[in-house]
Amino acid sequence: MPIACAVHQPGPWHILNEQNVMLAEGAKLQPGVVLDGSSGPIIVGKGASLGANSVIQGPAYIGDYTQVQPLTFIRPGCSIGPHCRIGGEISNSIIQGNSNKSHDGFVGDSYIGEWVNLGAGTSTSNLKNTYDAVDINIAGKKYNTGRKFVGALMGDHSKTAIGTRLMTGSYIGCATQIARSSITPQFVPSFTWMSDKGTTPYRMDKVEQVAKAVYARRNRPWTDEDTAFLSVIQSLAEKVETE
């Protein structure tokens, strides 16, 4: 990504360790933004916007044209892809491009795929009450991560309803819909529709219907390659998540 320059522009914001803060062309800062490069670099991509009174602590990367909402707190170790909408609190996490976490809620030590939408108040737990290393459960098999802090791993095209709670070490597959009032299970297979009424398969035609609507919101056409990609992911997920 071409870097226009380090921050040398006047404005009603606060920059710490200025030499570690870099803005690409067209990046916008609203009043009250804090960019703290004391613990690592901060790179803000082309056309990205940082809302009023948001705080970003490095190391951090904000992708091209991503919108950071006012009062957002991005803690160290975050990488956020292009064309995202980000709000609430995020720590030590990767959020891939075209995903939305626009509202309050905490996401920590997590990996969020592309085209994901986290409903308002969706939060992850990233630390066990016992402070033990976190296990990830995939289809009944436990894998010890050796890490004390692990949030959620969420595949592309997955979505959560408002107030969704994701437990420590959650595995949420590709193209899942979670809309339940109780705590989400630690393992949710790909292509699953989960609500208070129960769990059912999320049919491919419905997945495509929703994905096309989401693409249209970003002025992006749905192609045969996108359909083929989902089919491949479905086949791989069936193998990995049922072995």
Residue 159 identity (one-letter amino acid): K
| 131-183 per-position pLDDT tens digit | 999 999 998 899 999 999 999 999 999 999 999 999 999 999 999 999 999 99
Q: Give dist(CA 185, CA 167) in Å, integer.
A: 7
Query: What is the reported pLDDT for 9?
Result: 54
| 218-243 per-position pLDDT tens digit | 999 999 999 999 999 999 988 888 76
CB distance 28 to 11 below 8 Å: no
Q: In Å, what is the CA distance from 174 to each residue of 140, 153, 189?
A: 18, 10, 8
Share of the chain above pLDDT 90, in %: 89
| Domain layout of the chain by residue ranges | 1-87, 115-243
Query: What is the reported pLDDT for 140?
Result: 87
pLDDT at 5 over 70: no
Q: In Å, what is the CA distance from 18 to each residue of 32, 108, 191?
A: 16, 26, 45
**Is 1-87 assigned to CATH 2.160.10.10?**
yes
pLDDT at 46 over 70: yes
